[in-house]
Structure 1
């Protein structure tokens, strides 16, 4: 029995799938009932860039989504599933969406980059109060990175760039082994891709830089471990400095293979292969934008999906 006050939001990303199930409260806030995360790479096995989702990836995706659907049904939650970079770019996008619908009953919304950026911001503003500040928000995913500049809670610039930890690993480190020329090529490429965003926000006042998801969360956890900081229950509002990031960057780049990187305290096993590309993106953004400090948001795209769904429901009611 579905209740219209429970929502299951599914984020079909390039490096992982996320599920959050929430119960809506009186004041349009929500209470977390359950959450799941599965690492799955879409578009990483075949074709150039992220151009093809392989048969094996489709099968694994269907298995994960079947489980997510069962969990949503257990809670009586309505399902809203959103797919980002890898699916929107895949040549066989339609086949992927159709197969998932046939085998799981889940309708997937494939969203464009700007919509993704806006939903990420909706998530962030529910985790951190940004109503009185001008903020720059960053989210480095597997296939793309999102940049949001917001003034007092209003997103003014929402941009998505085709740089992500899986995409750039495939492009510059296909065997996940680091070489000096590949590292330099990757840095130059990232800089070339994001210079226009730097120009867009040039001269704008930034009170706070906020980061969400994948690479940025992984970097924060590595900082916590490598600097022996007290472990907190939640990553929300954790922060780290450019100096701390530079230290983590050096530790990662000096370890040429995934096997060497796994030994780093705080390194997630399934991220050791793609973390160099992610950390190069993050450090290049820090350097280019002159960022000194970043604060983490526990909420991102999936909570943004929930917030937007609540907004839509309250509009319909009114």
Structure 2
């Protein structure tokens, strides 16, 4: 008689094999990055040997999680929950067009929320989507995996910076070894709430914000004297900075910023420009700046500026690949291992 219970190891292996068979039939995987400032979906067509993928569809929706409770990301409101459910149901419809399994990962705002368990439970109840909340070091590692793939690197030593709404991830390593993979609570939304009341810029608050960023980086495991072959950036803040630089240079905006390079001097110039526009209304007039980012861009640019200074970055390469692509690659690695 067969045993009525499988060992947890056998059960896990069995489920992965079933998933692998389903993936072979479907040929598509979908990934959702549930960030503090926005949710992103990508749908990827995978190669038969699970070695790579091609993005065939994507969607991005603006949302601010845990935005009603002061500077800490400690509580997700009912309104934010309802918005999350609406967005994820929309993503589910898109992924179902491809018969793609949907893999959702939640980051800083959800992992810090006191009511995260209820938030995840309600999402599953309303959408059927299981949301996996990942720790900061896991987020950094997945982003790093996505970036290396997007930049088509071999074994170069890469320093990657990803400025999110609630946290910034710093990762240094080559293809197989990390020197550090650190997540620090210095996101663009978090610091905007902490230092810039109603998103208005006051010079003393800029100084206080820069000091705070430096303290947080120096008190982490990040080695500020580290060496690297390439520095890359993979976030909305960094892409927004790149587009501002392009606009200030009177160049046409490219559709894709992947592999675009900007210098420390170019960053300083646009930082000065952004910080000279004291109000959101003033910043809305900046050519090249995405309207929805006008409120939090000062905090984001200060994080980036201080990062360049402390880690001695001269040039940064933009990656349009990040966490969501890392999720796809992580799923492919699991399938290849079976």
TM class by smaller structure? over 0.9
Check conservation: 2:225, 2:311, Cα contact below 8 A. Answer: no
Q: CA 1:265 to 1:45, structure 2 compared with 1: closer, same or farther past 3 Å?
A: same
Instruction: Summarize deviations over 1:134-187 as a string: whole Å, max 9, x none.
Output: 121100000000000013453331000000000111111131111111111111
TM-superposed deviation, 1:46: 2.2
Q: Give the greater-gyration-radius structure (CA).
A: 2
- Deviation sequence 1:22-53 (CA, Å, 0-9, x none): 11013421111100001100011125511111
Structure 1 residues 60 and 275, CA gap change in structure 2 (3 angstroms): same
Which residue number corresponds to residue 205 of structure 2?
Answer: 182
What is the CA–CA distance in structure 1 between the aligned matches of 2:273 and 2:154, rounded to whole Å?
Answer: 37
* Aligned-residue offset at 1:296: 0.7
Q: Scaled by the length of structure 1, what TM-score is found?
A: 0.95
2:259 aligned with 1:246: no
1:156 is aligned to 179
1:68 is matched with 91
2:35 match: 13
In structure 1, how many angstroms separate the alpha carbons of the residues matched to 2:292 and 2:217?
27
Equivalent residues in 2 for 1:27-176, closer than 5 Å: 27=49, 28-176=51-199
Residue by residue over 1:240-294, the C-alpha shift from the partner in whole angstroms, topping out at 9 and shown as x without a partner, is 0011001110110000111100111111111000001100100011111221100
For residues 275 and 99 of structure 1, what CA distance do their matches in structure 2 show? Answer: 32
Distance (Å, rounded) in 2 between the aligned partners of 1:64 and 1:174: 29
Q: Which runs of 5+ in 1 are unaligned?
A: none
Distance, in Å, in 2 between the alignment partners of 1:213 and 1:284 is 16
Helix, strand or coil at the partner of 1:114: helix
Q: Establish whether residue 312 from structure 1 lines up as the match of residue 312 from structure 2.
A: no
**Superposition deviation, residue 203 in structure 1:** 4.4
For the 8 Å contact 1:121–1:155, the answer to whether it is kept is no
Measure the CA separation in 1 of the matches of 2:104 and 2:320. Answer: 19
Shift of 1:196: 3.7
Cα gap change, 1:152/1:76 in structure 2, threshold over 3 Å: closer, same or farther? closer
State the TM-score, normalizing by the size of structure 2. Answer: 0.90
| Residues 26 and 98, structure 2, Cα contact 8 Å, conserved in 1 | no
Kindly indicate whether the alpha-carbon contact (under 8 Å) linking 2:239 and 2:318 is maintained by their aligned counterparts in 1: yes
Matches within 5 A, 1:190-205: 190-197=213-220, 200-205=222-227
Who is 1:275 aligned against?
297
What's the Cα RMSD here? Answer: 1.5
The 10-residue stretch of structure 1 (168-177 or 158-167) with the greater mean CA deviation from structure 2: 168-177
Question: Where does the alignment leave 5 or more consecutive residues of structure 2 unmatched?
Answer: 1-21
Q: What secondary structure, in the 3-state scheme, does the structure 2 residue paired with 1:147 have?
A: strand
Rounded Cα–Cα distance in structure 2 between residues aligned with 1:4 and 1:155: 33
How is 1:215-234 mapped onto 2 (pairs within 5 angstroms)? 215-234=237-256
Q: How many residues align?
A: 315
1:44-69 CA deviation, whole Å, 9 max, x = no partner?
11255111111111111110001001
Q: CA deviation at 1:131?
A: 2.4
Q: Kindly indicate whether the alpha-carbon contact (under 8 Å) linking 1:43 and 1:53 is maintained by their aligned counterparts in 2.
A: yes
Change (3 A) 1:202 1:285: closer
Which stretch of the first structure deviates more once superposed, 13-22 or 51-60?
A: 51-60
1:262 to 272, 276, 284: 284
